[in-house]
Structure 1
């Protein structure tokens, strides 16, 4: 609940993208100005970096000299009264056995937030630049050593944070939606409100109290650390933090998590569609020009090689997760830690309903991942290739918008995922596909086509129907959402055995 609320707060309040939402309430107490944060580069190109606040500050890792005492400035930030709704309704008619059943479904995530008056506390950066001049970091400090040895992490310092000024509560309500036929799911509603009372009452299933002086979001400055401990503050977006490669005691790529799956490998867009060697996908590109399928199939092969019964169980669990983005986020976090040879935080599953917690543990067991080591400091191990394949699939699901996941669930219910997968795999010079092709003839049904069209639009793909053809091309500035959709569709195809 806390992570969802802070994520939505940052999305609405920070159009520039500098603020990082705090994902765990427990991290608020150790998020100090000039506190050290580990920034971790992810395995797949669509993944945003992860940030881990530590218990150390910059002063803790500096060599000799007086502690840095930054000039701290405080100001009112805003009074946040926000509301957000992401919903999709679909009417569809699906053939069931010999008859027809009308299907109507709606998914709606509603977030109403009232954090009250917020304040900004930040470091005076010009003064900080003067204070750190000629200072050095102790490169033998355990935190510095361990961060550097990972090879895909850098150190950052907290330069600014946004705080609450009064007590709040977050409550999550699980409300049923009106639905009939073959579609059915729940809509969670998260509500945040301010209270001045010591006791908090709400009519929700789950409640969380947020004290005053709680950090909701923060900004960082990355550090560029030299071999001798000298360092620079990276003040510009195009100046990333680093540990100098010549200082590394082992070559990058020695561990599996250091081998990044980049856009150039997975998405070979046609040079005529994207002239000038652009890495991003261009608007108006036929889906077949992405040429991503051979690589996607290779990454998902370990999943495809699983026995039929295990794939069937995984398919059922992953389908149910489409209507609960929080489950997907937690699962992705666990797989990320395991892939990085770190011990995952399994305790965070306790925030879920028992049935949702069981779904995640069941899925991990199907992937040969043991979860019964609560008191062990050893990383959880498993089949390396299977874990990487599963992480590839789940991370793509996590990157899809919530509305896209919900519509994908409806497509699953309407049994049109094979048609969608086929549409994205067959070649077409101009993105035109014949409706006479039995594999995509389902789109002759107006309602099924509308659901498919909505799914594609949420992944920045235009899907149009003409008298006898369907056309699928990317929208303007689609980013990598079309490729992400390809990964998810083929992942479900593998689990359904129709890949």
Structure 2
């Protein structure tokens, strides 16, 4: 819940900027805290930032600490409400009973951060004081980080902090109308009310209290580190460790990858899509059911992705439930049971693990307002149509409306899904045309990967 709150906060106040949302209230970083930037396996993934227990001064040789000036700035007063509403209806007829169910669900996240303060380092003074200083290359953090060449060091140059007690409130309300002579079982919940007319109401309210001086977001400067421990602050470009070899001056610098043609990238990934589609029917059905269920809440997909990342790196996965519902935890456990049966837990090179890591990584990168809508369209018939649109995005750029056969409400949802990923759909007589907007990032490619992966799991379901 805290991670979702800070992510929404950064999206509102620094969209496309350099602020990094804090994922846990325990990550209360001081200025000059060392952060490890981990570039992820798929080139289109955003990097992860892992705060450490060390500051830049802890890694320096010599006894003189760097003490740059610090500026305190009143930032903003911030509050916001985020949420979604969902409607649904089911009519069922049985031999001896009729049943009608109507539901209306709403979920709201209310953020009240009050007045926020910004602390930032005097960067010119920091550059002057760090000139000529040397890092202790035998330090355990440097040794462990250098082993992974895609890891980059950064130091916290600014942070946004609370100045007063504040809160994050999650308010979930579910209402339904039951009619007929057959009554289904009512799930256990925080609070349930059932009136005489068959109206079912379920509410839950969770409040997270945040103390003053809690870091909500931060910015970093990356370091360019030479083999002898000398380093430079990368104010404009990316950092990295110097590479051993004939060209000693060559540095591993990780910036945004060059955008390749979507069709070429999908062709490179076709073996992974094939791996998903050839899983046993029961495994495909289970994975499809649980993944599409988790897609209704971006935080749940994020939790699954964290566990798959751990497996992908050869570590034993552990679930940080951080507010996950019991049903979501059960779904994640069921997905790992499928992996265990496939033998994927025994090898980081398991084709099944790599293919599943691909689909979940793509889903995690999709915009938050896209995931739940895509979940609602995740049935085999609709996914076949979405796959046709993927072909348009990656090549032909147009198709006939009759071939898509989408009802108006499904078309509106499809239009929203593609628009959230910088792809516009335009109807012209009987022709449906797609246009990729010139926006930064790889969202069109990521959406195509997500759709093709889900369609591979859904085939034959």
Q: TM-score surpassing 0.5? A: yes
Looking at structure 2, the residues matched to 434 and 92 of structure 1 have their Cα atoms a distance apart, in angstroms, of 31
Once the two structures are superposed, the pairs formed by residues 465-480 of structure 1 within 5 Å of their partners are 465-477=427-439, 479-480=441-442
The answer on whether the counterparts of 1:169 and 1:210 sit within 8 Å (CA) in structure 2 is yes
For 1:295, the equivalent position in structure 2 comes to: 268
Give distance in 2, aligned partners of 1:467 and 1:48: 39
RMSD, matched Cα: 3.6
Alignment pair present for 1:484 and 2:446? yes
Is the 8 Å Cα contact of residues 223 and 231 (structure 1) preserved in structure 2?
yes
Please list the CA deviations of residues 450-494 of structure 1 after superposition, one character each: whole Å capped at 9, or x if unmatched. 332222222222223344332233234374222112111111111
In structure 2, which of residues 40, 43, 46 is the aligned counterpart of residue 42 of structure 1? 40
Preserved CA contact (<8 Å) 1:460 1:482: yes
Q: Does 1:447 align with 2:447?
A: no
Q: Is 2:360 aligned against 1:394? A: yes
User: 1:215, CA displacement in angstroms?
Assistant: 0.6
Question: Relative to structure 1, is the Cα distance of residues 343 and 427 closer, same or farther in structure 2, using a 3 angstrom cutoff?
Answer: closer
- How far the C-alpha of 1:263 sits from its partner, in A, is 5.9
What SS class does the counterpart of residue 359 from structure 2 fall into?
helix
- How far the C-alpha of 1:150 sits from its partner, in A, is 0.9
Compared with structure 1, are the counterparts of its residues 260 and 213 closer, same or farther at alpha carbon in structure 2 (3 Å cutoff)?
closer
Q: Is the 8 A contact 2:161 2:213 kept in 1?
A: yes
C-alpha deviation, 1:107, in angstroms: 7.6
Q: Which of 278, 285, 302 does residue 329 from structure 1 map onto? A: 302
Partner of residue 364, structure 1: 336
Structure 1 CA distance for aligned equivalents of residues 458 and 365 of structure 2: 21
Deviation digits for residues 353-392 of structure 1, max 9, x if unmatched? 222111112112212289xxxxxxxx98556322221111
Partner of 2:111: 113
Corresponding residue number in structure 2 for 1:209: 209
Residue 412 of structure 1 and its aligned partner are, at CA, apart by: 2.3
The gaps in structure 1 that reach 5 residues or longer are 97-101, 181-202, 249-258, 270-289, 371-378
- Whole-Å separation in 2 of the counterparts to 1:247 and 1:452: 50
**Runs of 5+ in structure 2 lacking a partner?**
94-99, 179-202, 247-253
Partners of 1:222 and 1:354 in 2: CA distance = 39
Residue of structure 2 in register with 1:17 after alignment: 17
- Give distance in 1, aligned partners of 2:374 and 2:103: 12
**What are the within-5 Å matches in structure 2 for residues 96-495 of structure 1?**
110-176=108-174, 204-236=204-236, 239-246=237-244, 267-268=260-261, 290-344=263-317, 346-349=318-321, 351-368=323-340, 384-412=350-378, 415-425=381-391, 431-437=397-403, 440=404, 442-443=405-406, 445-477=407-439, 479-495=441-457
Task: Show the counterpart of 1:51.
Answer: 49
Residue 428 and residue 318 in structure 1: after superposition, are their counterparts in 2 closer, same or farther (change >3 A)?
A: closer
Contact preservation (8 Å) 2:380, 2:458: no
Residue aligned with 2:50, SS: strand
Following the alignment from structure 1 to structure 2, what is the Cα–Cα distance between the partners of residues 92 and 456?
26
CA distance in 1, matches of 2:274, 2:79: 47
How far the C-alpha of 1:178 sits from its partner, in A, is 7.2
Task: Tell me the CA shift for residue 6 of structure 1.
Answer: 0.7
Q: Aligned residue pairs: how many?
A: 424
Give the SS at the match of 1:160: strand
- Native 8 Å contact 1:369 1:380 kept in 2: no
Quote how far apart the aligned CAs of 1:210 are: 1.1
1:496 is displaced (CA, Å) by 1.3
CA distance in 2, matches of 1:428, 1:381: 33
CA distance in 2, matches of 1:244, 1:108: 52
Deviation string 1:211-238 (CA, Å, 9 cap, x unpaired) is 11111111111111101000111111xx
Q: Under a length normalisation based on structure 1, what TM-score does the superposition of the two structures give? A: 0.76
